[in-house]
Amino acid sequence: MGIKYVNNELYVEGLAVSKLAKKYGTPIYIYSKNTLESNFHAYKKGFGDIDSIICYAAKANPNQNIMTILAKLGSGADIVSGGELYRSLLAGIKPDKIVYSGVGKTAEEIEYALKSNILMFNVESFEELEQINLIAKRLHKKARISFRVNPDVDPHTHKHITTGKHGSKFGIRYEDALGMYIAASKMKNIKIVGVDSHIGSQILEVSPFKQAALKLSKLIDNLEKAKIFIKYIDIGGGLGIKYQKSEVPPSPEDLKKAVMSVYSKYKDKTIIVEPGRSIVANAGIMVGKILYRKVSGDKKFIIVDIGMNDLIRPTLYDAYHNIIPVRKTSKKPVIVDIVGPICETGDFIAKDRKFPMLFRGELIAVECIGAYGSAMASQYNSRLRAQGIVIDGKKVTGIRKREELKDLIAKEIN
């Protein structure tokens, strides 16, 4: 079960993609429930023998149906906005499994999270801490917090998804952490419960996680000397996935082993992990139709109905997504750019890619779009956001309706 060819036809679980495209139209996000669940189980199994909480990073794909599937498996959530808190609670995620990261939490969002009794705020600046303390005081509450500490390690990934190096807007400086914890320990409406770091995304080796752990462990030891005792060690998310054949991502168990080689000495602590991409990315494909083909200069183009408004990762992060024909072909691959219909040169899915010059009307599938695909979709060029469906065996569940023209102006005032 999953996403694979059966007799040269691409299937998502028990259903042929060509039939789904015919019935529901294109472009369309199609998810395999089985793959989603087995990715979550890999974390459950990998971290199952230690005291741990898996907090799915909602930003990767906050769709209510996907969040509810994960909530039913016992997932917590890593959130970065009041909107994600709303979605998480609605999906049935327990507040005591919700951690709140992000550099710009507003007063309203902090109040909402305090009233919802979330597990902890991952605080990213001293001014944010003061703001949380003030709001907690007004609400007669004690806010549980950890600091997101920037350990200054290089995760060897794209610069736009590197977050744990000096000069990043995320977290507090490692050198400032002890002083900030001591100051926080004196605030009446703050309860220190954890330490946190998130060093980046699409990380394909575990050594950066271990380097971060070594630094944070020194901090934890210094905190204990200052009589500040924490319960939670949040190791962030960021485990990579196999976008390209050459990429060999570590497993959740490898990640656990790497961090526990440092943290196993703390017998009384709970490890929190915040995976997004590695839970949901390879559970989804985006299926589109070839609209036109053309030649410009010495370049060949295939124009499809998937735009950068549906999948922005290639242009935003130079991201590679494998593209396959929905029906296998004996046509020889040529070098083409596969591009969308949007009026931007940056609207492409693949550049200089070896791909068969299929005919107009034929279907392609873009792989691994489950994470940061629909989550980053927009209506740019007044395009309608695409439909999403989840396949469970032979059962289809619609998880997002295709937008209609009236949705374009639904919130506009004339």
Ligand X SMILES: Cc1ncc(COP(=O)(O)O)c(C=O)c1O
Least Cα distance to 206 among 46, 97, 78 occurs for: 46
Q: Which of 12, 28, 36, 60 binds ligand X (CB under 6 A)?
A: 60
Residue nearest to ligand X (CB): 276
Q: Which 39-58 residues touch ligand X, going by CB under 6 A?
A: 57
Report the residue number, 112 or 372, with the smaller CB distance to ligand X: 372
Sheet bearing 15-16, strands edge to edge: 3-6, 9-12, 15-16
Report in angstroms the alpha-carbon separations of 280 from 42, 188, 276, 369: 12, 40, 7, 8
For the window 366-405, what string marks contact with ligand X as x by the rule CB under 6 A?
Answer: -----x----------------------------------
Q: Nearest approach, Cβ of 309 to ligand X (angstroms)? A: 21
The DSSP string of 8-64 is TEEEETTEEHHHHHHHH-SSEEEEEHHHHHHHHHHHHHHHTTSSEEEEEEGGG---H
| DSSP SS3 for 348 | strand
Contact status, residue 272 vs residue 234, Cβ threshold 8 Å: yes
Q: Nearest approach, Cβ of 202 to ligand X (angstroms)? A: 6
Q: Which 84-113 residues touch ligand X, going by CB under 6 A?
A: 101
Backbone phi and psi for residue 126, each to the nearest 5 degrees, phi listed first: -70, -35
Is residue 256 close enough to count as binding ligand X by CB under 6 A? no
Least Cα distance to 196 among 186, 181, 206, 183 occurs for: 181
Is residue 250 close enough to count as binding ligand X by CB under 6 A? no
Q: Nearest approach, Cβ of 114 to ligand X (angstroms)? A: 19
Q: Cα(230)–Cα(228) distance, rounded to whole angstroms?
A: 7
In the residue annotation, 343 being an active-site residue is answered as yes
Report the residue number, 198 or 383, with the smaller CB distance to ligand X: 198
For the window 272-311, what string marks contact with ligand X as x by the rule CB under 6 A?
Answer: --xxxxx---------------------------------
For residue 360, the tally of other CB atoms under 10 A from its CB is 11
Backbone phi and psi for residue 180, each to the nearest 5 degrees, phi listed first: -70, -40
Which one from 6, 248, 295, 343 is the annotated catalytic residue? 343
For the window 201-240, what string marks contact with ligand X as x by the rule CB under 6 A?
Answer: x----------------------------------xxxx-
Q: Nearest approach, Cβ of 353 to ligand X (angstroms)? A: 24
Q: How far is CA 250 from the centre of its chain?
A: 17
Report the residue number, 62 or 276, with the smaller CB distance to ligand X: 276
Q: Nearest approach, Cβ of 77 to ligand X (angstroms)? A: 10
List contacts with ligand X (CB under 6 A).
Answer: 57, 59-60, 78, 101, 198, 201, 236-239, 274-278, 371
Positions marked catalytic: 343
